[in-house]
Amino acid sequence: MTRRLRTLEDLGDLAGKRVLVRCDFNVPLDDGGRITEDLRIQATLPTLRELLDAGAALVCCSHLGRPKGAPDPRLSLAPVAGRLQDVLGRHVRLLPEATGPSVTEAAQGAVAGSVLMLENVRFDPRETQDDPGFADELAALADVYVDDAFGAAHRAHASVHAVAERLPSAAGRLLQREVEVLSRLRDGPDEPFVAILGGAKVADKLGVVDALLDRVDALLVGGAMAFSFLAVQGAEVGRSLVDPDRYDDVRASLDRAKERGVLIQLPEDVVCATEASADAKRQTVPADRIPRDTIGLDVGPRTVEEFARTLADARTVLWNGPMGMFELEPFAAGTRGVAKAVAAVDAFTVVGGGDSVAALRKLDLADAVDHLSTGGGASLEFIEGRELPGISVLMERE
């Protein structure tokens, strides 16, 4: 019998209860510490509001960046607390640490409708060790636990995994929705199913490539990862990023695709330059004839056209990863073009990965897709069929 994900309904009456909510507030910051993209904050608002409306007191926790187990003022959750206060419309009190006497006192005194936020849980080295003692300290702050941090669900960390074993626990609405949508893609997508993968490192995506070859009708590959696919087919890729150590795996993926009748569509043209700089002179060339002294930094306009042609017939679309160095404006056109093509298709569309989502939001096309996934690595590992610690611990106990 299939195990069921526990949801908020399983927690019963929450009036007067303290709820520890694991959020994914790992948002991008600029050099001045200002939030540049708040999708992950916005996405958890339905859960937070539902809990508050039920009469709960909230103790929110999250990580931000990789502070290496020690306090780092640049990675404080202070900007997040400020933004959450603005969008939630009620006071959010940031505590100075994740656990400790002052935190315990504040949590014990929390009243219905109040919102506390613990400081970055990764400031404590025990977080990433899934440490039982740290989990005990977190669990002592609340009566129940809700996990709405899908973006961290693939991590066996204390605030994601061990604490859920110590309190009545359930998934928040964001995590619940992510599991429902990605399960549909993994287990029963409407066909044709077309996936688009981009990003820098082919090694990071080979697992999901192999998993998708059992499910998709076409796989469109862009970003720097495409150059390893082109190179093994004899293309001249100049100084573009490749991973020769994984060429055998890339060849194996191409062979599997051919056996299964899956189209792997690679770029036909690319935008290249002598260096990855916004000021560098750029040119558009055939993808298999990139000049030796240049680097491929974006897919070209013909590639966007051909990708859009393949997408037009799709009934299910998954897009994860940019088509080029999207953060530099001269090399953002390919990602924008694919964003427009995905938004235009009459299909069930799911987009994940920070740059892909950012492209849609920048173009005001976010509402044109069915689901924006807040998890990059987590969503890909879920589709691969891996067990995610933060989800398995929330499954109905047998």
Q: 188-384 — its CATH code? A: 3.40.50.1260
Q: Tell me what pLDDT residue 76 has.
A: 97
DSSP state string for 315-336:
SEEEEES-SS-TTSGGG-HHHH
Contact 82, 88 (CB under 8 A): no
Question: What is the C-alpha to C-alpha distance for residues 358 and 257, in angstroms, rounded to an integer?
Answer: 30
Whether 354 is catalytic is: yes
Spell 219-258 as b/e; 16+ CB within 10 A means b.
bbbbbbbbbbbbbbeebebbbbbbbeebeebbeebbeebe
Where does the chain hold its CATH 3.40.50.1260 domain(s)? 8-174, 188-384
pTM of the full predicted structure? 0.89
Question: What is the C-alpha to C-alpha distance for residues 383 and 370, in angstroms, rounded to an integer?
Answer: 17
Handedness of CA 288, 291, 295, 299 (dihedral sign): negative
User: Which is the catalytic residue, given 198, 352, 377, 390?
Assistant: 377
Q: 8-174 — its CATH code? A: 3.40.50.1260
Q: Tell me what pLDDT residue 341 has.
A: 96
User: Which is the catalytic residue, given 186, 201, 282, 362?
Assistant: 201
User: Which is the catalytic residue, given 151, 354, 376, 390?
Assistant: 354
User: Which is the catalytic residue, given 40, 83, 177, 246?
Assistant: 40
| 10-residue stretch averages of pLDDT, the chain, 398 residues long | 84 97 95 91 97 98 95 96 97 97 97 98 98 98 98 95 98 96 92 94 89 95 96 96 96 96 98 94 96 97 98 96 92 94 95 83 89 86 90 85
Whether 201 is catalytic is: yes
Q: Tell me what pLDDT residue 1 has.
A: 36
